[in-house]
Amino acid sequence: MTLDVLRYEGEHRLKSALGISVAFALLALLFVASAPLITTNVAASAQFKQVMAELPQPFIEAFGLESMTSLEGLLAGEFYTLMWAVFFGLYLAYSAAGSIRSDIDEDRMDVLLANPVSRTSVLIEKFLALLVPILVASVLTPAAIYVGTLFIGPSIAIEELVMVHVLAVPYLLCCGAIGLVLSVLLDDTDTAQNAAIGVLFALYLLQSFIPVTEYGWLANIAPMTYFDANEVLLEGTYDFTSAAILLAATLVLLAVSQFHFTRMDIQ
């Protein structure tokens, strides 16, 4: 079998990929359309400045409140920090957490492995199928934002818009790899998927609030630490080192998944 698993899984994910991509694109257009009103009011609001002065800094950074005075800041602080990094990451981790375990629970895995295909190739191809929603969303969403800025909102630098999606790919793959590990380590699909949501959300909270404490170094284990849309959209800087760290972490998680999956009893 030559990439048959990848082809099947990719086609199986295409419909949901289009659905979530359209949802992200429409949500991004809403941000673009509302940006002039929001950024103008925020910049001129004395009450907002007072609230910002009273809120703790970790809370401000976690929700991107300090960058809401421009379209780039609004997108980076709200859309890409919350919707893209958190919710898309949760979706991919949840989806990956069911990729292996659901086939085992529903007695499809033993039928699949009866074909001339190795467990390693099955695992890798199922993981690579996550690229379908990632790539579809990473094309439709920036296209919608750019078109929206042409007709209903302020302009945005296309190169930074493209790069924020390029640099998000390693982060999203890492989120999927976390779900994949849980898919082979835990005993049923629901447990694996619920654990994936819990782990990703806990890592987000860890990265958001622990840096100001004496245990701030623990934030380095969270993949969110290595993806910062504000750096790309507001500062025009591209952190390829962090992207490499995320890819390395993804490979380690894949290796852990492969090691356990090739040795586990699927009956």
The tally of CA atoms less than 13 A away on the side-chain side of residue 51 is 10
CB atoms within 10 A of CB 162: 14
Measured at the alpha carbon of residue 233, what is the angle toward residues 72 and 47, in degrees to the nearest 5?
Answer: 40
Report residue 258: phi and psi, to 5°: -65, -45
Q: Is the pLDDT of residue 136 over 70?
A: yes
Q: Which of 50-54, 92-96, 121-125, 255-259 has the lowest mean pLDDT?
A: 50-54
Burial (CB count within 10 angstroms: exposed 0-12, middle 13-18, buried 19+), residue 23: middle
**What average pLDDT does the segment 193-213 reach?**
88
pLDDT tens sequence across 204-221: 988 877 876 777 788 889
Q: Specify the DSSP class assigned to residue 81.
A: I
Q: How far apart are CA 213 and CA 207, in angstroms?
A: 11
Q: How far apart are CA 223 and CA 175, in angstroms?
A: 8
- Between the CA of residue 125 and those of 4, 97, 151, what are the distances in Å? 9, 14, 40
pLDDT over 90 percentage in the chain: 58
Which amino acid type is present at position 247?
A: L
Q: How far apart are CA 262 and CA 39, in angstroms?
A: 53
Q: How far apart are CA 50 and CA 1, in angstroms?
A: 63
Mean pLDDT of the chain: 86
For the chain, domain boundaries: 4-261
Burial (CB count within 10 angstroms: exposed 0-12, middle 13-18, buried 19+), residue 173: buried
Report residue 52: phi and psi, to 5°: -60, -35
